[in-house]
Amino acid sequence: MGEAIVVTSGKGGVGKTTTSANLGTALALQGKKVCMVDTDIGLRNLDVVMGLENRIIYDIIDVAEGRCRLAQALVKDKRFDELYMLPAAQTKDKHDIQPEQVKQIVDDLKRDFDYIIIDCPAGIEQGFRNAVAGADAAIVVTTPENAAVRDADRVIGLLEQHRIAARLIINRIRPNMVKTGEMLDVDEIVQVLAVDLLGIVPDDEKVIKAANSGEPTVMDPSSRAAIAYRNIARRVLGEKVPLMQLEDKAGVMRRVRKFFGMG
C-alpha cells in the first residue's frame, strides 16, 4: 500500500506544480514507483512541466465518469519506467468531480504505487477539497513572502481539520536577500507556521528553463534546486539529510553567531 502526498500552498505561483514534478521525479530516481496526479482541473500544468502533454489520451474526469479504466488514463513518463502521471482535464471544471471520486481513484492508485503525489490547485475551495480527499500526508509549499506564508498558514489549518499532517517546503529562497534582511528567513517562517520543515529550495533560474523544456530540474545535478529536491525526496523516504547551506560563507558566520547565541 502506497502513500498519497498532496502538494498544496493556498497561494498560487509559489511552485506547487514544480515541486510535484520534481519530487515525483526525484522519488522515481530513488527507484520508487510513483504516480503524480494533477487535480488542477481546467488549468492543468503538470503535464506541461513534465513534457508529457502530447501523450495524454484520457484524463481524471474520464476515469471518474467511467469513460475509461484508470490504467488507460495513466501517462507513462518517457524517462522512467516506474513514473506515471494522471492528467487533469483541461476542458472541464473543478465542480465536475467530487472529493469521493478523487479519493476512490487515489485509493486505487495506492495499491499499485509506492507514492502518489497529488498536485493541488491554488485556493481553498472545491479544487482543494478534491485534492486533499485521498491524501495521507501533505506538503505545504511557501515562498519567503508574507502573503505566501499567510496562505500557507491558512492551508495548514484546513489540513489539520482534515487530520492530515503537513510538512513545509520553503521555495525560491534568495540567500543574498535573506542576508540583508529583505526576505523572511527560514527560522522566522518555521516559527510562525509551527510545522516540520521538509526542505528549502534556493531560487534558481534553471528551474524556469527546465519547466519550459519539459524536463524536471531534478534531472540536472548541476542545479542547486535539483540537489534541494533530491534531498527533499530522501527526507520523504525517511533519511536524515541536513538542510542545504544556502551560502557557505554565510553559513560559517551563522554558525559562529549561533554559537555565541546571537543567531
Q: What residues make contact with other proteins under the rule CB under 8 A?
A: 146, 150-151, 153-154, 156-158, 160, 191-194
Least CB distance to other proteins at residue 121 (A): 18
Question: With the CA atoms of 47, 88, 108 and 140 taken in that order, what torsion angle do they form, in degrees rounded to the nearest 10?
Answer: 80
Nearer of residues 151 and 185 to other proteins, judged by Cβ: 151
Least CB distance to other proteins at residue 157 (A): 3
Least CB distance to other proteins at residue 160 (A): 8
Nearer of residues 93 and 160 to other proteins, judged by Cβ: 160
* C-alpha cell, 124: 481553498
Separation in Å, CA 163 to CA 110, 132, 138, 222: 19, 10, 10, 38
Cα–Cα distance for residue pair 149/220, rounded to 1 Å: 29
Least CB distance to other proteins at residue 161 (A): 9
Query: Helix 205-213 to helix 224-236 angle, to the nearest 10 degrees?
Result: 80
Least CB distance to other proteins at residue 194 (A): 5
SS3 call for 6? strand
Q: In what order do the strands lie in the sheet with 137-142?
A: 75-76, 83-86, 34-38, 115-119, 3-8, 137-142, 165-173, 196-202
Nearer of residues 98 and 126 to other proteins, judged by Cβ: 126
Nearer of residues 191 and 222 to other proteins, judged by Cβ: 191
Nearer of residues 13 and 157 to other proteins, judged by Cβ: 157
